[in-house]
Amino acid sequence: MKQLNREDIMPVIDRALAEDVGDGDVTTKWTVPLTKQAKAKLIAKIDGVVAGLNVAQWVFEAVDESIEFDAHMADGDPVVEGNVLAEVSGSARGLLTGERVALNFLQRMSGIATMTAQFVEAVKGTDAQILDTRKTVPGLRLIDKYAVAAGGGMNHRVGLYDMVLMKENHIEAADGIGPALLAVRKGMDFEGREVPVEVEVETLSELDEVLVLGADRVMLDNMSLDEMREAVEKVQNLKGKKPELEASGNVSIGGVREIAETGVDLISVGALTHSVKALDISMLFR
């Protein structure tokens, strides 16, 4: 699991704190003495997988650099109700001001990791791997994708810059799969760079066209299980380099096992980041 770079994440944290704190936490300022010190525990209220402990720590440190954050678990660890994820200590004012923003990150990221782990468990024993998508909260792309990796999933492209993914609208605008692939190759040659190339197909005849022209990966968009099996067979019968096959389109936890058993290599699940349920975590003062 690739670790988050603090410098990349601090602008996100700073914006979140500015949104929440504004020109001051008036409740805390008017009720808690300036010199009051405190300790608090971050506690899981339900079972799941934790992610975002490092981000929570950075939030508290951004509020008050003297706050100490002692993680009792690591990102990616399974947790059960009642587990203490971390303890924080220092200025009571700082702990209270940073509490909600820290928990917002930690709960969302742990929710993503938990859902991802459930999908990974559902396809266990097959060769399929679970992928995320770009259906992330704007501005939280790196955080969301880190949480997917913490849950045992794989990251798809990070953005529009690190992989070619020709979807229906690109193909329509380029007047077909053939012209689109030709234009991509010319573009990479002209710019002197090379990135993986994936093509979305909706039919087996479109798949045949891509297999003749060549691509690194083919996305099978909303295909039936029978069509996926036939697509896998077509690729297995190819001589030479074989593209990866990615199943995509309204993948649910109840149906993902059947998709995996068709033999596809990858299954992308938008719900990991666009429909996540936050993991219930609370912060309790001592």
Catalytic residues: 100, 135, 167, 200, 221
Q: What are phi and psi of 100, to 5 degrees?
A: -65, -45
Judged on CB neighbours under 10 Å (0-12, 13-18, 19+), 135 is: middle
Tell me if 143 sits within 8 A of 55, measured CB to CB. Answer: yes
User: What is the full DSSP assignment across 42-78?
Assistant: EEESS-EE---HHHHHHHHHHH-TT-EEEESS-TT-E
Helix or strand holding residue 256 (H, E): helix 256-260
User: What is the full DSSP assignment across 151-200?
Assistant: TT-B---SSTTS-EEE-HHHHHHTTSHHHHHHHHHHHHHHHT----EEEE
**Cα–Cα distance for residue pair 127/246, rounded to 1 Å:** 12
Q: Looking at residue 277, what DSSP letter applies?
A: P
The 10 Å Cβ neighbour count of residue 160 is 9
